[in-house]
Amino acid sequence: MGKLDGKITIVTGATSGIGRRTVEVFVAEGAKVLATGRRAELGQSLEASLGKDNCVFFKADATSEADVKAMFDACLSKWGRLDCLFNNAGGPAPVGGIETIPVEGFDAAMATLVRSVMLGMKHAAPIMMKQGSGSIINNGSIAGRRAGYSTSMIYGAAKAAVNHLTVCAAMQLGEKNVRCNSISPGGIATGIFAKALGVEAGKADSYAEAAAKNMASLQPIPRAGRTDDIAKAAVFLASDDSTFINGHDLVVDGGVVGGRLWTPHQQGVQAMRQAFGVSEG
């Protein structure tokens, strides 16, 4: 018996990375998934691999209200209800100092990272409130909690907006037994890092393993995050195991935002002892 048996779900940004893996894990746990994204070929391959009874791909741009409304209509037409929405769609944002940020790039990033989440919640809320149940999960980031954890300060600001919008919506929707939570990933090895640094989207995912090697030592847990880490957190928040969790940001980062790493800190203490001529007592 799966943790999501009988659950009807929508996952945005489902053609690659965290979104694609989440769809696969949701289906393995018994859910029916409407998977959305802009890259039809990748979405159709996901649908084919999981079977149309379990996963239907719907081509949609998560920043377009017309597309978002259409994906909810498609879900209701197919299955008649909606138990979980994972607002996962996202992408890179402009890098560089604040004095270099192009307005067009800023606006595009806010649309991709924040407007998409708002639109998903806007159109999921009436369905779930009418049902008297549902779980909305928004993909945040540790970059929204601490500065310096993204190649882009605009990405960090956008994810901070996502995290807080999640709480604001949770305070409203919780009164109708609809839960709204976020997941804040740490360094998860996907193609988004390559995209942020200028690699074209079609090739970015091939650099995920290189990203994993670079991120292995950034947190106490000595490995990079995996897409499974986020997918399984989403399963928990989508399932009935989390029915009293609302307005929470679930950090999945191997401990990186906990503080300074132990070993470098101790090395610094030892260096200071040597500078002071003090031996360990």
- Is residue 155 annotated as a catalytic residue, yes or no? yes
* Domains with residue ranges and CATH for the chain: 8-276 (3.40.50.720)
Q: What is the length of the chain?
A: 281
d(CA 252, CA 226): 10
Write down the pLDDT at residue 224: 87
Write down the pLDDT at residue 68: 98
Given the residues 57, 58, 155, 207, the one annotated as active site = 155
Write down the pLDDT at residue 185: 96
Q: Are 179 and 246 in contact (CB under 8 A)?
A: yes
**DSSP state string for 91-105:** -----S-GGG--HHH
Go through 139-175 and write b for each residue having 16 or more CB atoms within 10 A of its CB, e for each that does not. bbbbbbbeeebbbbbbbbbbbbbbbebbeebbeebee
Walk along the chain (281 residues) in steps of 10 and give the mean pLDDT of each run.
Answer: 96 96 98 97 96 97 98 98 98 95 98 98 98 98 95 97 98 98 91 59 64 79 92 98 98 93 89 85 63
What is the CA angle 70-128-182, rounded to 5? 90
By CB atoms closer than 10 A (0-12, 13-18, 19+), residue 261 is middle
Write down the pLDDT at residue 213: 76
pTM of the shown model: 0.91
Write down the pLDDT at residue 27: 98
Write down the pLDDT at residue 242: 98
For residue 151, what are the CA distances in angstroms to 45, 126, 148, 260? 31, 36, 8, 20
d(CA 23, CA 58): 13
Joined tokens for residue 271 = 């260096």
Write down the pLDDT at residue 1: 82
Residue type, 249: D
Q: Are 204 and 245 in contact (CB under 8 A)?
A: no
